[in-house]
Amino acid sequence: MKRIALITGATAGFGRAIAEQLAGENFDLIVTGRRRERLEELKTTLEAAGKIRVLPLCFDVRNYEEVKSNLGNLPAGWEKVDVLVNNAGLAAGLAPIHQGDVDDWERMIDTNIKGLLYVTRTIAPGMTERKSGHIINIGSIAGREVYPAGNVYCATKHAVRALSQAIRIDLNPYKIRVTLIAPGAAETEFSLVRFKGDQERADQVYQGFEPLVA
């Protein structure tokens, strides 16, 4: 039986690269994100070699009802998720605390913390029943250190780190592995999203050092 991996936020950056990597390791893949065309294109690309199956699911991780309706009733043959990669996430804005945009704060907290919780709450019960599984959370160096104006983004990634430790303790009796990956700055669509489409501002982030790639 093929192993199944579920990757949130597979339409870009790390998520897409993880999908490509796991496809090469012969996993069937459930890929999620909000951009349907990108998910369909990813399915076509990854299935082209005829070795694996890809199930694209288009939804917003911030919406618990959407998470439950998409992941709570997976189609036949897709229910037994072996690996969950909680990758979907973002930074919105870069402002000192007294000038921060509260809507940006809500977006980051809702996506990076609550989205991860909603997906985990929906997928983990199947893993505990089967007493097997691996949950991989994408944290960040920003979950260990903070940087100027990074306040809320850094706090969400500190939360991902705390939750990874807590989930590991809770699921250890069920033989479920929990891994936190904490990359440094990588040139993905991350900064373009953070600066709301301002490519020039995004490019400035990676000047003066060599960023990681997805």
> Residue 18 burial by CB count (10 A; 0-12/13-18/19+): exposed, middle or buried?
buried
For residue 153, indicate whether it is catalytic.
yes
Q: Which of residues 126-185 bind ligand 8X3 (CB under 6 A)?
A: 140-142, 150, 184-185
8 Å CB contact between 124 and 166: no
Interacting residue with ligand NDP among 9, 56, 93, 126 (CB under 6 A):
9
Smallest distance from ligand NDP to CB 173, Å: 28
Number of residues that bind ligand 8X3 (CB under 6 A): 6
> Nearest approach, Cβ of 197 to ligand NDP (angstroms)?
12
Give the nearest distance from C-beta 137 to ligand NDP in angstroms: 9
Interface with ligand NDP (CB under 6 A), residue from 2, 35, 51, 196: 35
* 3-class SS of residue 163: helix
Stretch of 28-36, 71-79, 123-131, 169-177 contacting ligand NDP, by CB under 6 A: 28-36
β 83-86/54-58 pair status: unpaired
CB under 6 A: which stretch of 12-20, 47-55, 68-76, 124-132 binds ligand NDP? 12-20
Tell me, what DSSP letter sits at residue 209?
S
Contacts (Cβ under 8 Å, ≥6 apart) of 113: 156, 159, 160, 163
Backbone angles phi, psi at 56, to 5 degrees: -90, 130
Cα–Cα distance for residue pair 179/135, rounded to 1 Å: 6
CB 137 within 8 A of CB 86: yes
Active site members: 153
Site of interaction with ligand NDP (CB under 6 A): 8-15, 33-35, 60-62, 87-90, 111, 115, 138, 140, 183, 185-186, 188-190, 193, 214
Site of interaction with ligand 8X3 (CB under 6 A): 140-142, 150, 184-185
